Amino acid sequence: MCAAPESRLPPTVRSTSGSQSFFLWTRHPTPPSYTSPSASQNTRTSSTKPSNTPSHNRRNSTKMNGQRWRCSSWYAPLATPTRIPLTLVPQLVLVGVQILSIIPGRVSASVDPRVGSSIPATLKQARTIISLFEEHSIPRSRVLIKVPGTPEGITAAHILEHPTDGSEPIHTNITLIFGRAQALACAQAGLSVISPFVGRVKDWWDAQGQEQPGTAHPGLVLVSSVQRGFAHYGYKGRTEVMAAGFRKPEEVLVMAAGLGRPDEVGEVTLDSKKGWKRGTFEAADLVTVPPELLEGLRSWVFSTKATSTKPRSREVEVDEDTEPIYFVRPSTYSDDASPSTTSLYDSALRSTDRIVLDKVAEGLSKFSADAEKLEGLVRKKLLFALSR
């Protein structure tokens, strides 16, 4: 699968009812499944709907650079949660394929954040993404489908990870994790990976006016608390914690290796006899490090100065003897399943984990804005190329 050179793109931009439908020229053998919009929404005419018939493929194809390219109209303006703009999905999958040709591990590929509250749309796009990777001979074990940590997202991820039709599981990475109850619900759902956002957790506590210099870093404390809970309830090693959203190199060092204590994040201490100082902090299993922090890690100079700050008492959590149940198996594993988080989970979010309600909504809004920005950039480049 490969996009045609911009200078050779045919003039195939059309407008219906004021909305533009863009056509991607690919060598891909089979386009993703497409749901035709209803006639009342007038987002596209029936003549632009892609078909898998040989005659359609021949009529909507052209030769460029000695190879035959097919036109696939995969883009539709997002009108409902079940109508996902798929134009960029094949190209984003190509990026993942290229990364996997370099690294030995896994890559995360995200569903559209604008469908974070729709189980059917999340399932549909996740299956489309994984099928595209498989068409490039990438096994499912090397791909994590990134899904927002909403009740609908957690339920959809459970259905993907535990299929009842005998198919191979689709592994997931639940993003926008901000609370302990939310993390435990993901573990109870049997999900592969969760991604707590360390920096955004600290931002929320700063905004509450409860974070003061010298006190514990709430994002790091959350990860440590989640890891203790996973170990206590038997989920350690079954659901991995991949911390993300770091702001400083020292946060990465503390998170990656469990160095010192969470309240000593400002001073990663070097013990001359035993190496890095280790305390009671439970480290993450994996970390996602942004490029701008890699240079800071390369040039990091360890301090030999010890600190004596104390953690906030509210962050020291005690694991209950009886495990609180935040997720139960859904009554149906079909696309019309309902969210399977419990009333106890809802109660936890309204009381001790209010941060989840605030930050998940905020994160979805920011991710959606980024998705629209990316679509806008592609739209602008296509229009420029087609006007030449």
CA 28 to chain centre: 25
Residue 50 pLDDT level (bands cut at 50, 70, 90): very low
Q: How far apart are CA 211 and CA 218, in angstroms?
A: 8
| 384 alpha carbon, distance to own chain's centre | 31
State yes or no: pLDDT of 18 exceeds 80: no
Q: Which of 26-35, 186-195, 234-243 has the lowest mean pLDDT?
A: 26-35
Q: What number is the average pLDDT over the span 27-35?
A: 36
pTM: 0.72
Write the CA distances from 334 to 70, 110, 173, integer angstroms.
Answer: 33, 21, 21
Burial 212-234 (b: 16+ CB within 10 A, else e): eeebbbbbbbbbbbbbbbbeebe
pLDDT given for residue 54 in this prediction: 39
pLDDT of residue 37: 33
Paired sense of beta strands 61-64 and 67-72, if any: antiparallel
Of 124-128, 235-239, 259-263, 324-328, least confident by mean pLDDT is 259-263
pLDDT at site 159: 98
Cα–Cα distance for residue pair 317/86, rounded to 1 Å:
43
Q: Is the dihedral of CA 84, 85, 87, 91 positive or negative?
A: negative
Alpha-carbon distance 66 to 9, whole Å?
A: 14
Contact 286, 292 (CB under 8 A): no
The two tokens of residue 179 are 């609370």
Q: Point out the catalytic residue in the list 49, 63, 124, 146.
A: 146
Q: Report yes or no: 90 and 378 within 8 Å, Cβ to Cβ.
A: no
Q: Residues near 57 by Cβ (< 8 Å), separated by ≥ 6?
A: 51, 70
Cα–Cα distance between 107 and 93 in angstroms, integer? 10
Annotation marks residue 381 as catalytic: no
Higher pLDDT, 333 or 7: 333
Q: What is the mean pLDDT of the chain?
A: 74
